[in-house]
């Protein structure tokens, strides 16, 4: 394989290993770099076969380029859909609002979770009749559940405990929504037809799709992501996540 292929392949793999194992919160960037390395490697292998199989190599290269271009167009269109949904609902008022969990550093909310909590605090002040379901189990490196961390943060800032419910089983977005709806149904006797959902703006489209699958309409309430590099990475992740939600 020629140097113009193996050098970028090796560089992408090395950079992917750095992001995957050494840069906290950017593991998905490593996955994307591994994927890019695989694409370059595939083109390199096809190029190496040019001498023995010139017709195959030529057509495989063309087809590969077409597939890459179609994939990029699909990703760009999906990213635009994610960004559009990230603006949230025009009128997000609802009796119940679900706050989706994010990482906890010991007992302290991560930046992503703190941004969601700030949005939740604003929402509860804006709609004084709303009740919040704080959803999130305890993950690796977390001393308490994400739900408990959110409860502690909100009550320390004056939110009445009576307006908060803790859902401590969910480990995925789909479980966040399903378990929260089960909790609401257990308390009220009915499954709400509409809820508000608070999460990062990049996450709202997938949350809305999964809420629809769970049998309710989600009104998106975005939290603003201050770290724009992190936002771009999460946007790329959500492009994959949205299609996973649509297809599986």
Q: Do residues 136 and 210 both lie within one domain?
A: yes
Q: What is the pLDDT of residues 138-151, one digit of tens each?
A: 998 899 999 999 99
Indicate the number of domains in the chain.
2
Residue with token string 């492009």:
239
pLDDT attached to residue 125 = 98
Where is average pLDDT lowest: 6-15, 18-27, 156-165, 238-247? 18-27
- The residue among 87 and 141 whose pLDDT is bigger is 87
Between the CA of residue 100 and those of 38, 129, 135, 198, what are the distances in Å? 34, 20, 5, 6
Q: Do residues 63 and 29 both lie within one domain?
A: yes
Q: Do residues 114 and 200 both lie within one domain?
A: yes
Owning domain of residue 81: 3-85
Q: Do residues 193 and 107 both lie within one domain?
A: yes
Is residue 120 one of the residues assigned to a domain? yes
Domain finish residue from 57, 85, 113: 85
User: Using CA atoms, how far apart are residues 193 and 210, in angstroms rounded to an integer?
Assistant: 14
Q: Do residues 59 and 102 both lie within one domain?
A: no
pLDDT attached to residue 26 = 77
Is residue 157 one of the residues assigned to a domain? yes
Is residue 244 one of the residues assigned to a domain? no
pLDDT attached to residue 27 = 83
Q: Do residues 213 and 179 both lie within one domain?
A: yes
pLDDT attached to residue 24 = 67
CB proximity list for 129: less than 8 A, separation 6 or greater:
95
CATH of the domain at 115: 3.40.50.620
DSSP type of residue 163: G
Both tokens of 241, joined, read 């996540």
Q: Do residues 58 and 144 both lie within one domain?
A: no
Is the torsion defined by CA of 167, 169, 174, 179 positive or negative? negative
- What band does 98 get if pLDDT is binned at 50, 70 and 90? very high
Q: What is the pLDDT of residues 204-247, one digit of tens each?
A: 999 999 999 999 999 999 999 999 999 999 999 999 999 999 99
- What band does 155 get if pLDDT is binned at 50, 70 and 90? very high
Strands 96-100 and 131-135: parallel
Rounded mean pLDDT of 17-26? Answer: 83
pLDDT over threshold 90, residue 3: no
Is the torsion defined by CA of 142, 147, 148, 153 positive or negative? positive
């Amino acid at each position: 394989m020629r140097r113009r292929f193996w050098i970028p392949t090796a560089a992408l793999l090395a950079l992917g290993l750095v992001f995957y194992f050494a840069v906290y919160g950017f593991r998905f960037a490593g996955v994307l770099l591994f994927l890019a390395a695989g694409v370059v490697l595939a083109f390199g292998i096809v190029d190496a076969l040019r001498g023995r199989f010139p017709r195959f190599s030529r057509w495989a290269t063309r087809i590969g380029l077409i597939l890459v271009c179609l994939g990029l167009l699909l990703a760009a269109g999906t990213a635009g859909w994610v960004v559009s949904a990230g603006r949230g609902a025009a009128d997000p008022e609802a009796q119940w609002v679900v706050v989706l969990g994010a990482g906890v550093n010991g007992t302290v909310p991560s930046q992503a979770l703190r941004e969601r909590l700030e949005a939740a605090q604003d929402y509860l002040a804006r709609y004084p009749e709303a009740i919040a379901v704080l959803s999130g189990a305890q993950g690796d490196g977390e001393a308490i559940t994400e739900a408990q961390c959110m409860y502690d943060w909100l009550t320390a800032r004056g939110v009445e405990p009576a307006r908060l419910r803790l859902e401590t089983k969910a480990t995925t977005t789909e479980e966040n929504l399903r378990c929260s709806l089960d909790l609401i149904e257990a308390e009220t006797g009915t499954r709400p037809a509409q809820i508000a959902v608070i999460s990062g703006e990049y996450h709202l489209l997938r949350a809305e799709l999964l809420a629809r699958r769970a049998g309710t309409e989600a009104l998106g309430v975005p939290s603003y992501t201050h770290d724009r590099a992190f936002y771009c990475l999460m946007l790329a992740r959500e492009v994959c996540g949205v299609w996973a939600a649509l297809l599986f």
